[in-house]
Structure 1
Amino acid sequence: MNLETVWRAEDGARLAATVWRAGDGYRMISSAMLGGGAGRARWVLNAQVAGGYSRMDPVAHLEELAASYGLEGPGVGMLTAASVSRTMRRDDGGVHASATVGLRVPTWAAAPADRPDPELAPIHLDGASPPAWSPGTINIVVAVPVPLSDAALVNAVMTVTEAKTQALLEAGYPCTGTASDAVCIAARTPGRTTEDGKAVEVFAGPRSVWGARIARAVHAAVHAGAVDYTAYLSSRNRQRKS
């Protein structure tokens, strides 16, 4: 997975994005707003937005950005308020993972129904109710060099989520993630055989061959990102006090 870092000026800030020009031969499953679901895709875009992001048309925004970077055909687009220039990349046995980690509001997945969600607070518009969507703060992209069945793709999403949560807990963040994380998993389209001579892998749980590799790569990337985020906050706090 050859990630390219590109920059743009927007909302008075210099913002980074990562672009993976995967080309033909990949089938992806994603929770992203642009290109979400499962199907063939040729590229993945992970774009940083300003912390007070307030556009109500994020899909159109992503389409504009994709066009500006020369991305054509079907693809996956994600937004994040985290620092994309600090994206962490880790590999394991042919699996490549990248993670953009921002933990401004760590969140437990199961929270009381009547508890306000501070993740939405920065994007209230003129006193109106906040929109139902806000930029994700932990975005994960995984590339697997073998074909995965439909069930294995779903299984891989579970594995990525479990590995992410494990990494966050081990890095000292008592949470399952943030309220708006996103994931994209790309696997080769059927037509090439796996290490065992199979046409397609049907398992991607953490104890399967490829699932274990996915888990280790994602765990390493997210853990590194969480540790880096802690160091970034400490440095910023020291600067404010000085």
Structure 2
Amino acid sequence: MSVIIPIKGVKFLIDNKCLALKFEKKWFSLSSAVLNGGFRKVKTIVNYQVDKDFSDENPEAFLRKVLRNFPKPIVGLMTAADITKFSLKTIRGNLPICALVTAGISNAASVGEKINRMQNLSTINIIVLVDGCLSEACMVNLIGTITEAKSMALIDLDVRSKFSGEAASGTTTDAIVVACRGKGEKIKYAGTGTKLGMLAGKIVREAVKESLRKQGFSPNRPFIQRLEERGISLNQIIDFILEYKPELKSFSKEEIRKIIEEALKDVNVVSLIMAGLRLEEDKAKGLIPGMKKNIDSTLIDKTFGVYIAKLINGDYGAQEFFNLHKTKLLKISKLGVFSRSVIEGLLAGVSSKLKAIG
């Protein structure tokens, strides 16, 4: 694979599970890398791809061994994401900048939440090169800006935590490398309001999104997938329909699945469900003025549900929604008043449609 890094004296190599950057002369780096993290002078930066089931009590020693033939000093990262699905974004001009990203989100998480241990290392690894001279404080500052850009990219794609379903801020094993040539006028700051911060932030945000798209994570992924990312699975929906309406057991699960998927092709249905889920998030954070967190019911939550059911199966769907809403049978965990209403609307619309077919 022929890739040109538009910075003099830097070569790109991808081969045998290694994505590497080689420097003719030593560059200055700061990183959270597994191998030789911290402030370092460096001649090689390598992102090494491990197997999905990789497990080693001493990953630093493992990397030191597998990367032993690269020029030293070296900084080493690791990931289970496919390194051939990398994204490279560049800024040319008076201050050339490159962002090289590999991204996987199998262990995406929301910062501050309780994390269960995961072995999968499909992490987001970000390497940013700046053809200039950055102070140590500036390099620290730039890592902060890069982290913000990464989190904004995940928000752009609505990536959710694998542990809670909340908006993800990163993965549990992300790593960042910042490296500079160390020549020219010293740059002291790299916050979001600086030229360096704005340029680096822009290309990192773009590169993270592009790498995730290459890995198959599409912003236009099926809506049922977005529900599952929030802890609402298709199988749960089907099981509840059969529990609520036992007479529908004459239908196979595959037949019910097709009716649900057909309902979710309607952009109006999807928009109302998404609006209810977003509203639920704002309610949980106390962002809806005048609304108490322990509210039981409101006019607006019923409005979402009844219109979703009506869009799916007209007045019959709407009536089924009110019948279902009264039962309070919905048992999908972590559903608040708005999210419960929109899922009840989907269930009522689909149930009434199946009843009409049967």
TM-score w.r.t. length of structure 1: 0.78
Distance 1:105 1:61 in 2: 22
Shift of 1:72: 2.4
Distance 1:29 1:44 in 2: 11
- For residues 94-152 of structure 1, the C-alpha deviation after alignment (integer angstroms, 9 at most, x for no partner) is 110111110112201111xxx342xx33x4xxxxxxxxxx7361000110000100110
Q: Tell me if structure 2 keeps the 8 A contact 1:142–1:186.
A: yes
Q: How many residues align?
A: 204
Distance 1:136 1:41 in 2: 25
1:140-219 alignment runs, 5 A limit: 140-173=126-159, 174-189=167-182, 192-193=183-184, 198=185, 200-219=186-205
- For residues 35-61 of structure 1, the C-alpha deviation after alignment (integer angstroms, 9 at most, x for no partner) is 100121111010111111112221121
Q: Tell me if structure 2 keeps the 8 A contact 1:47–1:79.
A: yes
What percent identity do the matched residue pairs reach?
26
The structure richer in strand per residue is 1
Distance 1:146 1:210 in 2: 10
Distance 1:101 1:52 in 2: 17
* Alignment match, 1:45: 46
* Alignment match, 1:21: 22
Q: Tell me if structure 2 keeps the 8 A contact 1:31–1:182.
A: yes
Q: Which runs of at least 4 in structure 1 moved beyond 2 Å after TM superposition? A: 226-229
Q: Which runs of 5+ in 1 are unaligned?
A: 8-15, 124-133, 238-242
Distance 1:53 1:71 in 2: 22
Q: Find the partner of 1:221 among 189, 207, 222.
A: 207
Shift of 1:22: 1.7
TM-score w.r.t. length of structure 2: 0.54
Q: Which runs of 5+ in 2 are unaligned?
A: 6-10, 160-166, 226-358
Shift of 1:226: 2.3
RMSD: 2.3
Q: Tell me if structure 2 keeps the 8 A contact 1:168–1:226.
A: no
Q: Tell me if structure 2 keeps the 8 A contact 1:171–1:226.
A: no
The structure richer in helix per residue is 2
* Alignment match, 1:36: 37
Alignment of 1:4 with 2:5, yes or no, is no
